[in-house]
Structure 1
Amino acid sequence: MAGAGATALAGALSACSGSTLGADKGSAAKSAKLTLPAYAKETLAKPDLSAPGTDPAYLRYPSTTPRSTKGTPGDGKKINAITSTWSLMPPGMASNSYWQELNKRLGSVLAMDVVNGNLGDGYAGKLEALIAAGDLGDMVWIPTNGGALSKPLQLMQAKFHDLTGYLSGDAVKDFPNLANLPTYSWKSAVMGGALYGPVVTYGRLGQVYVVNSKFWEPVGGIAFSSAQDFLDKGKDLLDAKRKKYVLEPAYVNHVHMFAEWHGATSGWRTHNGKLQHMFEQPEYAAAIEFGAKVFKANLFWPDANVADAIDKVAGGQQLGAYVQSYPGYRVDLQTQPFTLDVIVPFAATPGAKPVFDMGTGALGFTAIPTTVPKARIKTLLNVLDYLAAPFGSEERKFLDNGIEGRHYTMGLGGAIRPTALGKAEAVTTAQPVATLCQGPEYLYVPGNDTALRLAFATQKKLLAIAQTSASLGYYSDTALSKNASLTTTMYDLVSDIVSGRKPMSAWAPAVKQWRSGGGDAMRHEYGDAIAKG
């Protein structure tokens, strides 16, 4: 599981920028007509807690875990895969018993080239170099809609197999675990009217404010009457001399949290009968202004490159909150020795209607380069089908935890306890593996029923005020080609304004440039798609 969630790749892939390939102007219409993979639900373990929209929650690990696949998916040949992690890099294959066991179970050596997704443009830069060298291997993780890659559609059409025939409609049933992936997540694997690979499904709940409640106890906990109340309590907790700060220095992520308090919609919403983007919403501008106040109050950790925010928050001594994807928070609950809580969005000002933004439900997809012979495509899809095994299966138990007695032990009540070796090998290696493909989300906090029930209850609170972008499920050619670069430019300005490098007055002119540079075109294209249903 990508513990830090979907990351915005900074930088752009320039290797295709000089391509003579023209833009596929009909890609949106083609994508809208494509038949998504048929959904065939697979339930191997009945959840202890469940509610509409929530992740299934398990208080105990199932006592029996049947296999969800047959035979060995690999063909004995090495599989070279390019993937990413958002945590510690795993030990190399030669000294990693989890990785070695995975190879045995797959029947092929999965040689992963792992790039740390927290390193700015590291992933995009890696792909740029490999494309230039003509060395994309056998599998490549592609961020949702190409992430920050330049001309992602042309890249897919030129360098990767169209897998529509293998995955669209009932064809996906040849791969039962892939057919068990939720329908909404597959939309992220569609480009130019084609399916380019198995989706990397991800929980639909978006970013959350994660805290250790003990940090906030001196000011009465994490209940806030307004944004000003949050700011005032943060000032009371600040102790710079003891290196005790309130927030990690991820300015854009924090503005997103503040925007939810003010009632801004992430992405697009319908306002006065017209689509309105987040950047145009006055509530988002108010969130940026509040972020600048938080910065001036010195609540952010002073080193913008802090790498261990999760540990500082979990320890309860140095940081009060960090922003995490909800699926990442689920992982943190499993790996941190403290019960972490979440600040549910509240009204920033009297009359404000707080919201919680839902995500796209995917981290992207895994594509197969055209240099791979067509005869091998099904083998690679079978390997990805293995990686997509659901909770309650033998495969998922191994993929998430490793080898029993070596990487984990079974405690009382069926609680899985990772060993020191498990934390070093299984936890770190499972993340880049899951970035290639993984099963549907679930909630399980071994040996900590309190944390699990708290997380489940929080999900219901978030879903009660949840909203999705009006554009979700619709296509825009301009968004595909320009949204990543336009968003990066605007987010850079958000960071500059929050940190005091630029004034708030710079925001309105930037919004006008965003509109003329592609924002208005996206509005028109999404509007047409929504009108056509």
Structure 2
Amino acid sequence: MSSHKLDRRGFLGAAGAAGLTVAGAGSLTACSTGGGAAGGGAEASARLTLPAYVPAKVPAPDLAGNADGLDPAYLRYPKDLVRSVAQVPGDGEPVTCLTETFSTAPPAMNRNAYWQELNKRLGSELRMTIVNGLGGDDVYRAKFNATIAGGDLPDLMWFPPNQGLKNVPALLEAKFHDLTPYLSGDAVKKYPNLANIPDFAWRTAVLNGKIWGLAVPYGRMGQVYVANEDFWKPVGGVRFDSAQDFFEKSKELLDTKRKKYVLEPAYTNHILQFAMWHGIQNKWSMDGGKLTHMFESDEYVAGIEFALKCQEAQLFWPDPNLPTTLEKMEGGFLGVHVQSFPGFLNDSNMYDWPAKVVVPFAAEPGRTPSWHFGYGSVGFTAINKQVSKDRIETLLQVMNYLSAPFGSEERLFLDNGLESVHHIRSRDGDVVLNTKGNAEVLTTRQAINFFGNAPQSLYLPGKPETTRGIHATEVELMKMAKADASTGYFSDTFANKGASSSDEFYLAVKDIVAGRRPLSSFRKEILPKWQRTAGDAMRREYEKAIAKGATK
């Protein structure tokens, strides 16, 4: 494993792709808050049974995980690895795929020993068309749409969860295989590594009562507050009894003359954290068949009010375009910033300062704080309908190999390449990428992990105590975790207007915190406009989808 970093902070609304800190989900550090996947959803009938969940038989972790999203943790790389794939999965014919990366492009196949060895192990040449998402969120969407329009589709196409793909239900019906007969219920047991994928990830591959692709599992932990413990030592450390306690300690540490502030200038991210102290729901919540969005809650308004209080006290870094948040955190010039949990995992492998997640606490006596699950998936991979039915099982076996779990021989290779060529073993048995591994494995694997991956495990090479602390934090967060009621359901309005309407909403909220608009404008203008533009339509579409039934 490596501390080499790949930077893209923005994918799925939180942090970008990076590094190898997280086993299984290693090269992605995206975080999604879920809700209305543009590429997948589950207007599911009661007849659909999700793929059976059968945990992989791998070496026992040092700290157990569970099917709800708690990640198993390994303090050292396991020694006695299992073989999770009995035979070479491919049929000798090339396997083509459209996928994305947020890193530098990998070396071409003819100059890439890792890619060449992977082809041998797959038994088919993996030909990837790799779109570099560093150019913006619309780059992959443009390539995806152009591929569909051209008609010459690859065998496998990755459907991202939030990049605004349109007319998805009709597209799937017209161009891709219904994989329900191959994956529903016990049928998935033919592919043991796919059976190891938890329910919350599979729900993102379901639409209109059918399973349309291979779920690409991902850590379920959402956004977190990350503090520099050294920054807070003068006031007793990273411990807060209430919102007011946080505020008073922050004011005490503020030193504008030394350019020492407390909060990064990402206003809307902080608002959500403050609202969690008040117990805010996760995106959409269901009550009596009716959905309410978190924007419509009193808790969200309380988050805005507290952000205003912090702004008036000059707790935010004064330049709203601060590009060096991590550097300021490391230097002790910022006390806390908002990070995706996978981004926090990646950065934990490189921090030279003591980072600690601030578990949400009650804003005031009588409040019950909340915390939000992420999406648990980076979308799904569909199989081109032009592929003959005779070959579907071959492609599923290839995907079964690419989904090999941590603790298997296949995952050791997928994450780290060949020993002595791409990685070495330390005295303690940890796996560390070398220069060739950083150049070949790291870049190639990221493109692969977007369309096929294993459920996440925690493993930070050489940092067992950090790993132990992160797992303990996950345990605490899950005690108050809330899921988004719309996760796994499709909304055309979300696909067409979700991003733009949210962007406009957040810009207006930023204006309130910055003092350019009055707080009263939130209820009078900003929220009603969001409801008219997209919110009410999304509500109707999600309610209709949910009313059709649920997966089993």
* TM-score, normalising length: structure 2: 0.81
Q: Which position in structure 2 is the counterpart of 1:113?
A: 130
Partner SS state of residue 405, structure 1: coil
- 2:93 is the alignment partner of 1:74: no
Where in structure 2 are there 5+ consecutive unaligned residues? 1-24
Deviation by residue 1:315-356 (Cα, 9 ceiling, x = unmatched): 445654443333443343345566542111122344432111
> Residue type matched to 2:48 in 1?
L
Distance 1:39 1:482 in 2: 32
**SS of corresponding position for 1:57:** coil
AA at the equivalent of 2:478: L
- Deviation digits for residues 263-290 of structure 1, max 9, x if unmatched? 1111233569954221210111222344
Deviation at 1:419, TM superposition (A): 2.5
Aligned to 1:481: 492
Report the CA distance between 1:446 and its aligned residue.
1.8
Are 1:56 and 2:82 matched, yes or no? Answer: no
1:3 to 2:28 alignment:
yes
Compare 254-263 and 444-453 and name the one that shifted more.
254-263
Counterpart residue number, 1:521: 540
Distance 1:532 1:64 in 2: 37
Are the structure 2 counterparts of residues 114 and 254 from structure 1 closer, same or farther at C-alpha, using a change threshold of 3 Å? farther
Q: CA deviation at 1:28?
A: 6.2
3-state SS, counterpart of residue 432 of structure 2 = strand
Question: CA offsets, 1:82-132, max 9 Å, x none?
Answer: 22334x324332544433332332231332413326823332233233333
TM-score by length of 1: 0.83
CA contact (8 A) 2:46 2:549 kept: no
Output the amino acid matched with 2:498: L
Aligned length: 511
Deviation per residue, 1:457-509 (Å, 9 max, x gap): 11111122222234556x4xxx5212342354134322332254655444334
**Distance in 1 between the 2:105 and 2:252 partners?**
40
Deviates more, 1:110-119 or 1:374-383: 110-119
Within-5 A mapping of 1:115-514: 115-116=132-133, 119-144=136-161, 147-231=163-247, 233=249, 246-247=262-263, 250-270=266-286, 275-292=291-308, 294=310, 297=314, 299-300=316-317, 302=319, 304=321, 306=323, 309=325, 313=329, 315-317=330-332, 320-334=335-349, 336=351, 340-472=355-487, 475=489, 479-484=490-495, 485-486=497-498, 488-499=500-511, 500=514, 503-508=518-523, 509-514=525-530
1-side partners of 2:140 and 2:309: how far apart? 33
What do residues 380-420 of structure 1 show as CA deviations (whole Å, max 9, x unaligned)? Answer: 22221111101110111112222222332212332222324
Q: Is the 8 A contact 1:8 1:147 kept in 2?
A: no
User: SS of 1:413's equivalent?
Assistant: coil
| Cα distance, 1:273–1:156 mapped onto 2, change above 3 Å | closer
- Hey, what's the Cα distance between the residues in 1 that align with 2:292 and 2:469? 35
Q: Unmatched 5+ residue regions in structure 1? A: 17-26
The whole-number CA distance in structure 2 between the counterparts of 1:100 and 1:246 is: 49
Q: Distance in 2 between matches of 1:100 and 1:243?
A: 51
Deviation at 1:519, TM superposition (A): 4.5
Is 1:45 aligned with 2:59?
A: yes
State the 1:141 CA deviation: 1.5
CA 462–154 in structure 1, closer or farther in 2 if over 3 Å, else same = same
Give the match's secondary structure for 1:498: helix
CA contact (8 A) 1:84 1:117 kept: no
Q: Tell me, in whole angstroms, the C-alpha distance in 2 between the residues paired with 1:100 and 1:295.
A: 54
List per-residue Cα deviations over 1:55-84 (Å, max 9, x = no partner).
211122111223211232233333332223
**C-alpha distance in 2, partners of 1:376/1:532?**
27
* 1:294-328 per-position Cα deviation (integer Å, ceiling 9, x unaligned): 5663725846483x755664x44565444333344
Partner of 2:9: none
SS at match of 2:61: coil
Q: What's the C-alpha RMSD, in Å, of the aligned pairs?
A: 3.5
After superposing the two structures, state which structure 1 stretch, 418-427 or 229-238, moved more. 229-238
SS of corresponding position for 2:491:
helix
**Range 99-108 or range 57-66, more displaced:** 99-108
Higher relative contact order (CA 8 A, sep 6+): 2
Which amino acid in the other structure matches residue 35 of structure 1? T
Separation in 2, partners of 1:353, 1:35: 34
